[in-house]
Amino acid sequence: MNLDFEDRLRCISDDVKLFSEKSDQNIKVIVVTKSQDVESIRPIINLGFNSFGENYLQEARVKIDQLKNYNLEWHFIGKIQSNKIKEIVKIFDWIQTVSSKKHLLAIDKFSSEIQKKMNVCIQINIDEENTKSGILISELDNLMVLSKSLSYTNIRGIMAIPSKANALKEEKKSYRILSEKFRQLCESYNSVDTLSLGMSNDYKIALEHNSNMIRIGTLIFGKRNK
């Protein structure tokens, strides 16, 4: 880990505090720890961060077990595979990448088996990119209707990864659409309170558009070795 990671985290925290005061809402930072070992994570825990995001079940399982003595919240932010949902439900607190009725029902089924309430976000493919998962925003309402029939699944909100090209150009239309949809969902569903939007390259734009959950990895740890 770079020696200046504390400074990077402090800058992110300062931005979050500023936007939190401006919007009068709590904003959560999810530290994305994909490809990081537990020795890189412990110093961040010691700085007061307790919410972490992982993309791969097998990698996450090891870290969650090794850090089980800490009071941490784990978010699954990778692509969901049907045959791994049972284990994901078992070890994670949130699943942010739900994009089908099939997966929602499976999550609810496996959550019921262990009497666990699972927090989920529906992933929106806001810019309709072939390389990204998620449903179209026009499909969201049909999926949200299911929430009333789920006993062990709380649909907490929506998650999206807008086009990186748009973020670089500061093209904000997608962010405005997501912000407005989130506002509508909050009015219609009591369980909805989360707009998971914003990563290392665009979190300030996301915060300007009412995101209250950002997912930061590269900005903290630097670019991963491929």
> Can you tell me the mean pLDDT for 22-45?
95
Asked if residue 2 has pLDDT above 50, the reply is no
Q: Using an 8 Å Cβ cutoff, are 61 and 91 in contact?
A: yes
Pick the CATH number of 5-221 from 3.40.50.300, 3.20.20.10, 3.40.720.10, 3.20.20.70: 3.20.20.10
Q: For 2-6, 35-39, 68-72, which range has the lowest pLDDT when averaged over its residues? A: 2-6
* Residue closest to 162 by CA, chosen among 102, 115, 108, 206: 206
Q: What is the dihedral of CA 151, 180, 169, 135, to 10 degrees?
A: 40
Full DSSP string of 107-158 = HHHHHHHTT-PEEEEEEE-TT--TTS--B-GGGHHHHHGGGGG-SSEEEEEE
Asked if residue 202 has pLDDT above 90, the reply is yes
User: For the chain, what percent of residues have pLDDT higher than 70?
Assistant: 97
The residue ranges of every structural domain in the chain are: 5-221
What digits encode the pLDDT tens for the residues 84-132? 999 999 999 999 999 999 999 999 999 999 999 999 999 999 999 999 9
* Residue closest to 34 by CA, chosen among 54, 11, 49, 14: 54
Cβ atoms within 10 A of the Cβ of 98, count?
Answer: 27
> Can you tell me the mean pLDDT for 26-34?
97
* Residue 159 backbone phi and psi in degrees, to 5: -130, 145
Per-residue pLDDT band at 226 (split at 50, 70, 90)? low
Per-residue pLDDT band at 169 (split at 50, 70, 90)? confident
